[in-house]
Structure 1
Amino acid sequence: MRVLLLSYGSRGDVEPMVGLAVRLRELGVEARVCAPPDFAELLEGAGLPLVPLGRSLKEMATEAVTGAATSQKPLSMSERAARLIATTYAAVAPVAEGCDAIVATGLVPAAAAARAVADKLGIPYFFVSYFPNYLPSPHHPPLAWPGRPLPADVTDNRVLWDLNAETLNELFGEAVDAHRASVGLPPAGDVRAHVFTDRPWLAADATLAPWRLPADLDVVQTGVWIRPDERPLPADLEAFLEAGTPPVFVGFGSMPVRDAEDVARAAVEAVRAQGRRVLLSRGWAGLAPTDEGDDCFVVGEVNQQALFGRVAAVVHHGGAGTTTTAARVGAPQVVVPQMADQPYWAARVAELGIGAAHEGSALTAASLSAALGTALTPETGARAKAVADAIRTDGTTVAAELLGAAIDPAGRA
């Protein structure tokens, strides 16, 4: 059996696919992973070849956050979608030959291209989300698309999701259908229903991110997809950890931020105000110490599964992967949400009592210190440990079994 996994998004979108690929390989299934070129090292570390999609996501995200100038005329959303669909299809179609199924996540146009490849080959296609609020439900509103805020006078979630479907059709419908016609496929119709399907998967832990019923969509919650990480921590990091009390980790993963120096300075000041040492993670934000204090240490990409169990708290952007990794080891959290799914995870951390949700994306020393004051209480620490015991780690096994059943219902795969 051979499966193609496509993820056009940040590291938090790609790493779960790597986890599934590793599990499939353990079961004797070949997995091919398509993702942005930024994650070649991640795939190489797992012994998996990368099929690169598009240009560097880090470059595009940095340009978007910093407002970097470009000599090219800005493309409309529809034009960008058409380009992404075409380039994704061109990259994926050749390597999908001989595959038995395609699993996709990430940006809608890229997933639409994956669906087109699956339809052309006549093989099963599955869409996966890593958090509930990306999928239509009467229990929550949709995310607002850039430049298209949700109407303030509408409170019925089903009405808001109907408007969301209209928005996706306006933004992507023409590009999706034009490309499908170019490869001999019928039009998609409703873009969201076409890409998400009527039975999408939710790769999130049911304790951290439950799918609420009753719902209109037949969502299959597999549980979170975890990439096993056995890498030792670097020797200099080990030395820092052993040299004093557990530090507070501060990092924003694959999220660039404006004024990174000011953010780092505020973070260090806030952590010191709580009487703690500081562990800064560079990430795509490029965080770095702002003075020579020996209570502050900076790391690059490290094994967070091993690290987070040894810190006093984790301050982060609220990506699904970072939130789950911290929750699994019982580390209290402060989530400083920037965009997309991050406000959802900030709210869940606060609701579960395993940390604090920072108010807004603009971090100051005072605001972070106040949030840390909540996260570092004994009560929050105890609650974080209790929730950690409830988190399941068999999501990739569940997904692999679903794939096997879909590809060979008779059980011969």
Structure 2
Amino acid sequence: MHITIFVYGTWGDIRPHVVLGMALQKAGHEVQVVASPGYEQWVRDRDLGFYPLTTDVNTFARENADLMDKGFISQLQTLRTRIAPLLVQMGLEVMEATRDSDVLMTVEFGASLLLDVITANKLKPIFINPAPINPTRTSNTVLPAKPGWFPFEGWYNRLGYTVLRQSSWRALAGGRNPLAKQLGLPKSGYKDFRAVVDTAPALTTVSRHVFQRPADWDDRWQVTGFLFDDDPTWAPPQDLVDFLETDEAPVYIGFGSMPDSKPQATTRMIMDAVRKAGKRAVILTGWAGLGANDVPENIHILKYAPHSWLFPKMAVIVHHGGSGTTASGMRAGVPTVVIPHQGDQGFWGRTVKRLGVGTNPIPRKKLTVESLAAAITEATTNRAMQVNARALGEKISAEDGLEETIKWVERFLS
């Protein structure tokens, strides 16, 4: 079959999808990736087809870093005005890219924009979700914890998924409705969206040791395990090797693809927190552009290193709570401190705490020298947390999420 994988996101989003695409192509399918143009060479080097989108997500994130300073409602309102024309263009490009495709793989959120493309090109959707977002009464992965006074836990849990789906449907209306008009199609309704997402296969690529498949899920919804891209040919620069060998294991601090409107101030805050905790640290520059000219000896600024190589050498992993980074941190078997910025990152922060492998999450807007230093101290001194993290890492390392994912994809396609 001809399979298109649509990924509008960051490195953390595209890497596991490309790993999946390579395995599907090895199994005999023809696979192409539709993503931002900055990923084209990297994808083609892995012998997959590629269809470039006009918009580069990296550029968009840098130009809109101020969104991180706003509240959730303000973010949605701003995105509607800034991103709507880009969404229309994106939808038209996916429409063209998938004319000869049989299957479209993307996150469920993507169907909020591409519903008419799925219908017009007669595509079979398979959702690849890096976090649990299929409705269930048995667990809550969307809303904050249920208030103690509220008696109906199952109803409250399902409410979260309804809110999530309706929010995504409304948030992308500014792109979806003009797209339908340009395609000559009638405007789709929320019932049309529900008809697709309630019946399409969906694979939650999360370890069963982190999230157990709910008993009330349909057989089309499965939990398969994390997908990792380990970059085995990478070699570390000598200055990084020297820093790691100089003293005790450092703390890793990086916010991945999260932009920052004040990177210098954030860098200074991080370095002050590390000093206050009496530790050393490796700080990832990331899309935030962290770094400074006057870096003390206990700090090493890093542009890139594979999580699989770096994280096991750390004492603690401090990060934004992206699904891929969280998975890598758990597999490494060291404690985690999550600084959620947006989206599902709050869920991952709560999950880390629930599993006993990390501290309470610190929302980005509440991050201070004192709170970060306290979290680092807790994670480096809490013996039970360290034991739990090591045990979970061993369990995740023994899984093969890719093999399990391929098994279910093939079953859905047969």
Q: What is residue 72 of structure 2 aligned with on the other side?
A: none
Q: CA 1:32–1:349 in 2, change beyond 3 Å: closer, same or farther? A: same
Distance 1:195 1:84 in 2: 24
Residues 155-304 of structure 1 aligned to structure 2 (within 5 Å):
156-159=156-159, 161-172=161-172, 176=176, 179-180=179-180, 182-183=182-183, 188-190=188-190, 192-194=193-195, 196-198=197-199, 199-214=201-216, 219-230=221-232, 231-289=234-292, 291-304=294-307
Q: Which residue of structure 2 aligns with residue 126 of structure 1?
A: 126
State the shift of 1:222 in Å.
2.0
Alpha-carbon distance, 1:187 to partner? 5.4
**Structure 2 counterpart of 1:365, which letter?**
V
Superposition map of 1:62-211 within 5 A: 62-66=62-66, 83-105=85-107, 108=109, 110-112=110-112, 114-132=114-132, 134-138=133-137, 139-140=139-140, 142=142, 156-159=156-159, 161-172=161-172, 176=176, 179-180=179-180, 182-183=182-183, 188-190=188-190, 192-194=193-195, 196-198=197-199, 199-211=201-213
Aligned residue identity for 1:251: G
1:112-134 C-alpha deviation (Å, 9 max, x unpaired): 454444433333111222111x3
Match of 1:367 in 2: 371
In the superposition, relative to structure 1, how do residues 105 and 280 fare at CA in structure 2: closer, same or farther (>3 Å)?
A: same
Secondary structure of 1:294's match?
A: coil
Judge conservation of contact 1:20–1:227 (CA < 8 Å) in 2: no
1:384 aligns with 2:389: yes
Name the CA shift for 1:217/1:279 in 2 (closer, same or farther; >3 Å): same
* Map of 2:73 onto structure 1: none
- Structure 1 residues 284, 266: CA separation in 2 closer, same or farther (over 3 Å shift)? same
Q: 1:83 to 1:136 in 2, by over 3 A?
A: farther
**Structure 2 residue ranges without an equivalent (≥5):** 69-75, 145-149
Measure how far apart 1:45 and its partner are: 5.3
Instruction: Looking at secondary structure, tell me which structure has more helix per residue.
Output: 2
Cα distance in 1 between the residues matched to 2:51 and 2:160: 36
Cα contact 2:254–2:284 (8 A) shared by 1: yes
3-state SS, counterpart of residue 398 of structure 1: helix
Give the TM-score taking structure 2 as reference length.
Answer: 0.83
Q: Report how far residue 354 of structure 1 moved.
A: 1.1
Give the counterpart letter for 2:100 in structure 1.
G
Q: Does 1:338 align with 2:344?
A: no
- The amino acid that maps onto 1:105 is V
Residue identity matched to 1:89: G
Q: Return the offset for 1:53.
A: 2.2
Amino acid at match of 1:260: P
Give the counterpart letter for 1:301 in structure 2: Y
Aligned to 2:323: 320
Aligned-residue CA RMSD (Å): 3.2
**How many Å separate the matches in 2 of 1:167 and 1:184?**
25
Equivalent-residue separation in structure 1 for 2:213 and 2:43 (angstroms): 30
Q: How many residues align?
A: 393
Change (3 A) 1:293 1:44: farther
Contact 1:313 1:375 in 2 (8 A): yes
Percent pairwise identity: 27
Q: Which amino acid aligns with 2:236?
A: L
Change (3 A) 1:290 1:265: farther
SS of the equivalent of 1:349 reads: helix
Please tell me the residue identity of whatever aligns with 2:386. G
- Against the structure 1 CA distance between its residues 47 and 234, is the aligned structure 2 distance closer, same or farther, given a 3 Å change threshold? farther
1:399 aligns with 2:405: yes
The 5-angstrom pairing of residues 40-79 of structure 1 reads 40=40, 42-44=42-44, 46-66=46-66
**Deviation larger for 226-235 or 11-20:** 226-235
Measure the CA separation in 2 of the matches of 1:395 and 1:308: 19
AA of the residue aligned to 1:404 = E
Cα deviation per residue 1:346-381 (whole Å; 9 max; x = unaligned)? Answer: 111111111113332132221111111221123222
Structure 1 gaps of 5+ residues are 69-73, 145-152
The 10-residue stretch of structure 1 (35-44 or 119-128) with the greater mean CA deviation from structure 2:
35-44
Counterpart of 2:194, as a letter, is A
SS of the aligned residue for 1:213 comes to coil
Q: What are the Cα deviations for residues 109-165 of structure 1, in whole angstroms up to 9, with x where unaligned? A: x43454444433333111222111x33333327469xxxxxxxx9983444544555
C-alpha displacement of 1:344: 0.7
